A and B are shown apart, each in its own frame.
Chain A
């Protein structure tokens, strides 16, 4: 910028009073096949952005964001699961060398080394060459870490039954069923079923709700003894009299719920 005597300013400001010239750069000033950012290149970027946005909105409309039931620390048997981009860390902590007494390795050393070297990559990979084959160590390390992260994520995700999970954790508006905890059947329920089906029979991650089922006492007794679906046989360990009390109790709660 010019400085010194003879400069004119706008009023008492520091803005230089100059002849107005808002004519953009001439196209001939762009050598070769370069082009102006505005409007030529930005238009292309925004076209790409529009296509991206359409795809994004289709995703949003096709898959409403999930919402599980309201947080309840006493939910029986809930298996915690982080968002997908934390799964690899979560899975890493399941390995023996990264948990228990070696947990420091799993939560500090391994992630610290990985993310630390990512942060400091320009100072670890200092050679002048930019092409991947000119820096084999950096590129190999990156590919190995990527493969490890992908594999850990896959390992973690493949153990999850996503459908059943979403089904079991649907937000259910709280059912206003008075549960008669003085019923002898409730005591039997407490001893045999509560750890999975929950204090108020509303189910949890490990088992469905027992309210709103359309089963007879005999069918319930059969399931209690022999299991069904993912419920193993032999969960019920009481006498026949207790079984009778239990089924009557569950049927009565369901009758109550239908009112």
Chain B
């Protein structure tokens, strides 16, 4: 039944070569922890992606309850955390995932760095990777404000003040982020929400796609 369905689709769009390339490629011995236990360091990249998946899923579900408005944002988070079944867990996944993803990303970066895996011909993929790192930091910064609790509010105010001290474009940059010259308030929250939920994830998906395509094209770096 499934075979027939698959053949029917495959005849029309020829999908076999696409997934065969992913499925059949060889995994070399030196990255396989079954042969060399120390090869577990190669897991960090995959685990980073795994946490990103956790973040995307939990984040999507959180928006079912969350409202980006200064009157209601905190109340909606408080409600989903105290009243909604498993709301505590979903928010916990997103909260802890944000920290864990930075840790895994850091470990992955250090693995690549100390193995010199960014050397020719993999320079471009390193740059894409560092850009992903910056995006993650941006996601962390914008996501911190969204619960609209005191911690979020005051940390963001400090962050915006730092942005305001950048020479020449500082004031401009601060207003662009905060939406108002003096107040960290209603417009700041909606802006951070938009950046956190649409702009940065969009950029993240594009960069992740490039990252993975480059890995498939270039193959994993050889043993030291």
Contacts and interface: CB of A to CB of B under 8 A. Distances in A.
Nearest to A75: B150
B35 interface: yes
Contacts of A70: 74-75, 78, 148-150
Given A41-B27, A71-B153, A73-B184, A15 B140 contact: no
Contacts of A122: 118-120, 122-123, 126-127
Contact of A36 (B26, B91, B114): B26
Contacts of A34: 26-29
B149 A64 contact: no
Contacts of B224: 130-131
A81 B99 contact: no
Contacts of A66: 95, 151
Contacts of A71: 70, 74, 148-150, 152-153
B80 to A, nearest CB: 10
A93 B27 contact: no
Given A10-B11, A70-B150, A122-B126, A82 B155 contact: yes
B115 A130 contact: yes
B140 A83 contact: yes
B43 interface: yes
A121 B118 contact: yes
B13 interface: yes
Nearest to B148: A71
A45 B33 CA distance: 9
B32 A33 contact: yes
B16 to A, nearest CB: 6
Interface in B167-202: 167, 184
A82 B130 contact: no
Given A44-B32, A65-B81, A71-B74, A52 B47 contact: yes
A250 B77 CA distance: 33
Interface string A76-112: 0011111111100010010000000001100110000
Contact of A30 (B26, B47, B126, B154): B26
Given A41-B32, A82-B159, A56 B100 contact: yes
B89 interface: yes
Interface of B: 7, 10-14, 16, 20, 22-29, 32-35, 40, 43, 46-47, 50-51, 54, 70, 74-75, 77-78, 81, 88-89, 91-100, 102, 110, 113-120, 122-123, 126-127, 130-131, 134, 137, 140-141, 144, 147-155, 157-159, 162, 165-167, 184, 221, 224
Given A36-B26, A61-B89, A131-B224, 10 more contacts: A10-B11, A35-B26, A35-B32, A41-B27, A52-B47, A56-B100, A64-B81, A68-B151, A70-B78, A146-B110
Interface pairs A-B: 3 shortest CB-CB: A130-B116, A38-B23, A65-B95
